[in-house]
Amino acid sequence: MFSIPRAGAAALLLLSAGCVSGSGAGTAAGGGPMARAADPGAVYWLYVGAESADLIHRIRFDGSLTLEQTTMVGEIPTETEGPHGLRISPDGRHLYMTTGHGFPDGKLWKFEAGVDTVVAEPILLGYFPATIDLTPDGLYAFVVNFNLHGEHVPSTVSVVYTPDLVEVEQIETCTMPHGARMAPDGLFLYSNCMMDEQVVEIDTRTFQVARRFSVAPGREGPLDAEGGAGRMAGGMSGMGAGAVAGSQCSPTWVQPSPDGLSLYVACNAGSRILHLDRQSWELIRVLQAGTGPYNLAISPDGRLLVATLKQGAGVEFFDLRTGESLARVPTTTTVTHGVEVSPDSRYAFVSSEGVGAEPGKVDVFDLSDFSRVGDVEVGQQAGGIAFWRMELP
């Protein structure tokens, strides 16, 4: 067998629920028909967090989806601590997870992947730690502190030295930072400001904000790195004559392209995706999307952009060369959240939260024809999702 990872403790009680079988043949109302999966020729594993159930699930796909293990997480029996962001270390050995709630707030956790046990004391960061990404060498984790429940004031991105799980810096960025993805070379991290209508570029060598870009409709363009929401680069006010009254972007995700040349920004409130040029720091084009694009992923071969549609209960597939929408497919439950693409660019794995007491779901889509070829129920409010590894025969 040949295994390929995603990229190339204290007195804590974690209760393993053991191996729980899950059907890959089910469907839910509105999910549409499911195609039969062709033999994938490989086995794929991923993790998903269930935020309202304090669970992380390890899932296997070999033509059907199966829950291999469900692990309870958290420290406070009376609190829902909310696993939110998940990321696998580049070497595939560790799973990093943020919890957004707790007392006084959430933490960053480190697990040994595969056995799913905690290997270090979880650490407090800022208010509501959310999305996480790591440098290519795995030495540093960058975590946005979303501050969901606090005042609308500038929040931070935490920098954590992962071998010792020690926070070394908090970088003030903007109000309600959301989403965090690393450039392929690891030199810059990109995040969004949902309330300030910005993309923020952080230099991972200096732990400082390098550039900002306004994504407000009608006034897209560079901002002063130190100016926050205040001024456009060159001195022009961010409330310039090009502003579109009453319109919003409310960016929730920024995804660098595999070649490092472009950024794609999901405007959750505007139902569009912005294509930015990283070098010139300019808006190149706008992709019209379905209702509420939320998270984005790009196939490693650079061919496809996959967008979850949170308010639209679906997933949309774009040809990156032409910008054309190739398909818009419903998911098997509502409040579609996260997406990961397999390293061979064959499958997209999508998490959906559901509402109330409904279970969350994970769907898998074949990227050759955009058909749904598997789904499995997980805990309530399935959100953060991370591809772990694939194994070839």
Residue 379 Ramachandran class (φ > 0 left, ψ -120 to 50 alpha, else beta): beta
Count of other CB atoms within 10 angstroms of residue 357: 7
User: Please, what is the end-to-end C-alpha distance for the chain in angstroms?
Assistant: 5
Question: Which element (helix H / strand E) includes 387?
Answer: strand 382-392
Query: 356: which residues sit within 8 A by CB, 6+ positions away?
Result: none
Distance CA 161, CA 177 (A): 20
**Tokens read off for 276:** 């930015």
Number of helices followed by number of strands (H, E) in the chain = 0, 31
Which stretches in the chain have pLDDT values below 70? Answer: 1-33, 36-38, 102-104, 149-150, 227-246
| Cβ proximity of 306 and 289 under 8 Å | no
- For 105-155, write each residue's pLDDT tens digit: 789 999 999 999 999 999 999 988 999 999 999 999 999 998 876 677 889
Beta partners for residue 231, in sequence order: 237
In this prediction, residue 386 carries a pLDDT of 98
Query: 114: which residues sit within 8 A by CB, 6+ positions away?
Result: none
Distances (CA, A) of 316 to 57, 168, 288, 369: 25, 38, 11, 12
Domain covering 2-392 in this structure, CATH number: 2.130.10.10
Longest dimension (CA), the chain: 61
Instruction: Give the residue from 191, 240, 236, 250 showing the smallest Cα distance to 218.
Output: 240
Concatenated DSSP letters of 279-348: TTTEEEEEEE-SS-EEEEEE-TTS-EEEEEETTTTEEEEEETTT--EEEEEE-SSSSEEEEEE-TTS-EE
- What b-and-e string marks burial along 228-247, b requiring 16 or more CB atoms within 10 Å of the CB? bbebbbeeeebeeeeeeeee
Q: What pTM value is reported for the model?
A: 0.89
